[in-house]
Structure formats: C-alpha cells, structure tokens
Amino acid sequence: MKSQSILLINPPVYDFAAYDLWAKPLGLLYLSSILKQQNINVNLFDYMDRFYDNENKFSEYIYPKKSSNEYGCGHYIKKEIPKPEIIRNIKRKYYRFGIPEEQAEQFFLNIKNTSKPDMIIVASIMTYWYLGVVEVSELLRNIFPDVPIVLGGVYATLCEEHAKTLSGITDVVSGGLVNFNSVFKKYNFDVEIDCDFKKFPAPDYSFYKKKEYVALKTSVGCPFKCSYCAQYVLNKNGYSVKSPLVIKQEIESLVSYSKTLNPQPSAVVNNIAFYDDALLFNSNNSIKVLLKEFIKENKKFYFHTPNGLHARFVDDELAELMFNAKFVKPRFSLETSNAEEQKNSNNKVSNKEYERTINLLQKAGYKQGEYVTYLLMGMPGQSVENVRESIKYVHSLGSIISLSEYSPIPYTKDWQTLDEKFKQDPLTQNNTFFISLNKDYEKLQELKLFAKELNKLVDIQTINR
C-alpha cells in the first residue's frame, strides 16, 4: 500500500516591509513532526527561506547585499509590485517578499513527478498577508488540479469567512492544529493530532539546507487577555507548557541535527529564539529550570525573545539567569507608559513593575542599550503626546525603543470599537494602512524619527562603556 503524502507550504509575504526576525513557520514545522511520527510522507516548501537556492538570480528581484546579521536575522528577497486598489493611496512602496515564483513552480513540478502529494496544507499568518495565499493556491491548483488544498493558520482562524471565498482552497481549518483532525478524517488520512501541546514533538527543521538559528516554543497560548491580542481565539485549548527538560532535549537535538547537516564550524547554530507569548510565566517551574541546566553544562547559546516578555515576572534570580545564559537584548512588552491606557489594555504591566525589572536587569549585569522595550503607537484613542511621553520614559531607563504601529485584529476587545471599513477586507488591517488614516499621522511619523535618534544615543553609550 502506497504511503500517504502531504505537502506543506509557507506562502510569500505581500506587504510594505518584512524582515526575518528569527521567523519560521512553527505551526507547519510542528505539524511535519507529528505527521512523520504517524508514517506520513512530508514535503515542505517555505517561500520565506532566505537560503534557498539563490545562485540563479532574477532581474526583477532585489537581493540583500548582506545575508544576515551576527545573530542570524536578515532581509528577504523582494520585488516591488503594484499596490492593491484598497491601499493604493499609501505613499510607500509595496513588495512581494520571498522565493521567486519561477523557483517555486519548478519545485512543485518536480515533486509532481516524483512524490505527488495526496493533500496540500497552506499556512497563513498575518491576516493582511492573504495575497500570498492567493498566489500559492492558484499556482498549486493549476499543477495539482485533483489534490485537496487545505488552508490553516492565523488568517484562516481570524478571517475564516473571507478565507472561504478564495479560489483554489478546498477546505479552511480554523482554530489551530488540533482542528485538522476533521479534515484528515474527511480525506481518509490515518492521522490524529493530540490537542495537548505537551505531547507535541520538536519542530521539524530537516527541510532547511542552511540555518543560522532555531525558533521554537516552550508553551502555547497565554494566560492574559489583552485588548489588542487574539491569542485566546487562536489557542482555544488554553495555556499549555512543556517540561523544561523536554525543551532542553529538543534544543540539543535541533542543534545536533544542524551540526550533522552542516559540519563546518561556521554553520553551527547557536541562536535560539523563543516564540512563546508568556515565556516567563510560572518561571520557577519552567524557564528558570531550563536556563540553570544550560548554565550548569556551559552550553554556548544566544537566546532571543522576539515576541516580548512580561516584565512583572522578572525577579532577581531570573534576571541573573537571563544574563548568565546570554539572553541577547531581551525584549519586553510595555506598549505604553500611560496608566489609563495600561488599564484599558488589561494591566499586563505597570510602570512600577517595569522599572523594577530594569533595575534587576542592570543589577544582573545588563548595561544601557542591552535590553529592548516594545511600544505601540496609533492605538484607538491614544494621543500623540502619550506616545511621546512613553518614548521619553523608556529612553530614560536606558532601553532601546522598538516602536510599532498598532494593527487592528479581529475578535479582540479593540476590534469592537473600530469602524466597519476595517472589517471588509483584511488588507485594511495592515498597520501601515491603519495608521495612515490617523489624523495625527505626520506627527506620529515624526515620533518614529524621535525614537530612532534616542536609540542612537543609547547605542553610543553602549559602545563607549
């Protein structure tokens, strides 16, 4: 009996900007491991793989001059494309990021002849990136006219009805990996996904010929419910965390696999990115245990936290562990220093807690400019002056400022307050579009420059210390 086969796809990104900040399609990578455990043949094509064959360059694409920074992050291949009508008035260039269409098509034609899939699963992340899904589904439908194409992920969950209108998509799975069970049953796949994240295997990185980092999760979900976040919709099974010793084994196995695949010393992976939404929650039984193990064994890793950390959970011991285990520029989510805005967004952290954490970081050994704080601008009802004060406040505590434009997300508390025009097409949920309609748009853009100048001052202090 022929083994069943599934092709996993991470689509290209259509946006004004995109950057590889230790980004990997973790949902697909976990799914690949689960499928392989149940004897399914798996192929994966990640359009956002920066190290896919770049020897044959295409003239209409812009290729980065430098592949990566010192910690494995870098720019994607891109080409400028016309802006969709609904966002055409935004005065910025619009791009398609990722592996060129010609190379993707050749990959799919090759596997059609060698290992034709019985099902294709397409991931989706940002709701306003759905044009990448459109491109992929149309191409795949032409090459595999009789193969079911299943769409899952964030866009499929938060914009399910819109996703169902896309041509070429056979089924839309909303609500996470466990909900794929009904689709597997529908198409007679002998596969079942356990809803408990603790039972998930490590993500599957075997498809990448070159890696400069490994991203993974120690947990899924979040115990909080902030007004601008939809994690409680994306992870309806609640917060679940793996044993720290299991995570230790996963990291070591992923790094060991990389060394086997790329034996050159320069190819050894030592950058580990945690994509948890609440990495420091219940730290005595989770992250502290993990870091103590790595410190005890003198493991040489650099740890990164792109999703942002909860400052209220940092204590003396955790700050020291983070410093000694080499958490590089740990990123903290403050969003705003305004007490009323903090209260409205669920009181995730107060200024007092944030200041206490900064003091603990400095006591542990971090210098000014060696930690990052996320701030939001353009939140509903937020004044320009409040954003300015937040920037000045964070700078005064020696932090690098990471200023992000607010993006409206379906099903959140904030979503209920928005005009209906943001709910018609997911492209209008793009942070660049949303902030472009703000009456104080020009002033907010000036604040970006203000934050950048303050960051330069902190960087100078760091360099000259």
Tell me the per-residue pLDDT of 438-447, one tens digit each, with 9 for 90 and over. Answer: 899 999 999 9
What is the model's pTM? Answer: 0.93
Closest CA to 252 of 206, 300, 296: 300
Could you give the CA distance from residue 375 to residue 372 in angstroms, rounded to a whole number?
Answer: 10
Could you give the CA distance from residue 98 to residue 51 in angstroms, rounded to a whole number?
Answer: 10
Closest CA to 321 of 293, 359, 349, 285: 293
Could you give the CA distance from residue 352 to residue 249 in angstroms, rounded to a whole number?
Answer: 37
DSSP 112-132: HHHS--SEEEE---SGGGHHH
Take residue 190 and report the two structure tokens written for it. Answer: 């002998």
Element (H, E) at 171: strand 171-172
Residue 120 has phi, psi (to 5 degrees) of -120, 130
Assign 61 a pLDDT band (cuts: 50, 70, 90): very high
Could you give the CA distance from residue 340 to residue 336 in angstroms, rounded to a whole number?
Answer: 9
Burial of residue 289, with CB atoms counted within 10 A of its CB: 0-12 exposed, 13-18 middle, 19 or more buried: middle
Task: With beta carbons less than 8 A apart as the criterion, state whether 364 and 323 touch.
Answer: yes
pLDDT over 50 at 127, yes or no: yes
Which of 268 and 311 is assigned the larger pLDDT? 311
Other C-beta atoms lying within 10 Å of the C-beta of residue 170:
16
Residue 37 has phi, psi (to 5 degrees) of -60, -25
Which region among 240-254, 256-270, 277-291, 325-339 has the lowest average model confidence (pLDDT)?
256-270
Task: With beta carbons less than 8 A apart as the criterion, state whether 251 and 282 touch.
Answer: no
Residue 320 is predicted with a pLDDT of: 98
Which region among 116-130, 238-252, 413-427 has the lowest average model confidence (pLDDT)?
413-427
Assign 463 a pLDDT band (cuts: 50, 70, 90): very low
pLDDT over 70 at 264, yes or no: no
Query: Strand, coil or helix: what is 327?
Result: strand
pLDDT over 50 at 464, yes or no: no
The order of strands in the sheet holding 149-151 is 41-46, 5-10, 119-122, 149-151, 171-172
pLDDT over 90 at 95, yes or no: yes
Residue 248 is predicted with a pLDDT of: 96
Query: Strand, coil or helix: what is 144?
Result: coil
Query: Strand, coil or helix: what is 106?
Result: helix
Assign 265 a pLDDT band (cuts: 50, 70, 90): very low
pLDDT over 90 at 66, yes or no: no
pLDDT over 60 at 263, yes or no: no
Report the DSSP pairing between strands 214-216 and 271-274.
Answer: parallel
Query: Which residues are paired to 404 by β-bridges?
Result: 376
Q: How many residues does the chain have?
A: 465
Residue 465 is predicted with a pLDDT of: 46
Domains plus CATH for the chain? 5-186 (3.40.50.280), 213-464 (3.80.30.20)
Assign 267 a pLDDT band (cuts: 50, 70, 90): low
pLDDT over 90 at 359, yes or no: yes
Q: Which of 177-181, 194-198, 253-257, 369-373 has the highest mean pLDDT?
A: 369-373
Query: Which residues are paired to 303 by β-bridges?
Result: 272, 327
Contacts 24+ apart (CB under 8 A), 262-270: 262/210, 262/211, 267/210, 269/72, 269/211, 269/212, 269/213, 269/214, 270/300, 270/301, 270/302
Take residue 136 and report the two structure tokens written for it. Answer: 């992929």
